[in-house]
Amino acid sequence: MIHYRDDHRPTLDAARELYRASTLGARRPLDDSARFAAMLAHANLIVTAWDGEHLVGISRCVTDFVWTTYLADLAVVASHQRQGIGKELIRRTQAAAPQAKLLLLAAPAAVDYYPHVGFEAVAQAWLLRAGQTVS
Ligand SMILES: CC(C)(COP(=O)(O)OP(=O)(O)OC[C@H]1O[C@@H](n2cnc3c(N)ncnc32)[C@H](O)[C@@H]1OP(=O)(O)O)[C@@H](O)C(=O)NCCC(=O)NCCS
């Protein structure tokens, strides 16, 4: 039985373990503790999934709660994937800010996931990477 929380910020160690066990950790700065801690500390909407005391899923977001929610990380540990936890995390993320659109960048492993669960690819999205400057 999985339970969900939106009132709890996981510890750095628990989050690191979850990111590793989901494979998303390979694409996030887990070994830069200050940076990873800041990612958790400054997210203002975090929905987590728990199997007993074990953290098994996360939706980590930055949102204004009324217009836009940026879903920065969605991750479910490999042992619990494809059981509907990712979808439920997205549902609860939306429910926390129902007026807001949900935006994200898909990791390569999840490019087919988002259209499968109802997301629409938009051509008018633009990205200025960290370190790139406006010309
Ligand atoms: C992507 C991820 C979050 C999905 O979570 P999940 O709990 O495994 O997915 P769900 O159980 O909600 O899956 C819902 C549906 O999508 C399908 N699905 C799951 N992962 C998929 C994938 N990678 N590609 C395509 N479809 C996928 C499921 O089979 C299911 O289909 P159904 O409703 O027709 O039965 C999870 O697999 C994960 O953590 N992956 C590694 C980390 C990652 O890449 N995260 C994305 C960062 S942007």
Q: Which atom of ligand 1 is nearest to the CA of 88?
A: 12
Q: What's the structural domain count of the chain?
A: 1
Tell whether 132 is covered by a domain.
no
Closest ligand 1 atom, residue 81 Cα: 8
CATH label of the domain that carries residue 18? 3.40.630.30
Coil, helix or strand for 86?
helix
Distance 84 CA to ligand 1 centre (A): 8
Rounded distance, CA 81 to CA 1, Å?
A: 14
CB 57 within 8 A of CB 85: yes
Pocket test for ligand 1, best of 74, 105, 113 (most atoms within 8 A of CB): 113
Domain range for 25:
2-116
Span from the CA of 62 to the centroid of ligand 1 (angstroms): 21
Question: pLDDT per residue over 55-108, tens digit each?
Answer: 999 999 999 999 999 999 999 999 999 999 999 999 999 999 999 999 999 999
Residue type for position 91:
R
> Which atom of ligand 1 lies closest to the CA of 108?
44
**Torsion over CA: 113, 121, 107, 45 (sign):** negative
Going by C-beta distance under 8 Å and a sequence separation of 6 or more, which residues neighbour residue 79? 21, 56
What pLDDT score does 70 carry? Answer: 98
Cα 83 to Cα 124: distance, rounded to the nearest angstrom: 32
Q: Which residue among 18, 61, 81, 90 has the greatest number of ligand 1 atoms within 8 angstroms of its CB, and so is best to mutate?
A: 81
**Positive or negative, the Cα torsion across 62, 13, 75, 128?**
positive
The stretch 1-7 carries a mean pLDDT of: 97
Q: At which residue do the structure tokens 């996981």 appear?
A: 10
* Calpha distance 92→48 (Å, rounded): 10
pTM above 0.75, yes or no: yes
Residue 127 belongs to a domain: no
Angle at 76 between CA 91 and CA 4, to 5 degrees: 50
Residue 125 lies in a domain: no
Residue at 122 is within a domain: no
Average pLDDT, the chain: 97
**Is 126 contained in some domain?**
no
Cα distances from 8 to residues 65, 69, 99, 103, in angstroms, run: 17, 18, 23, 22
Domain presence at residue 124: no
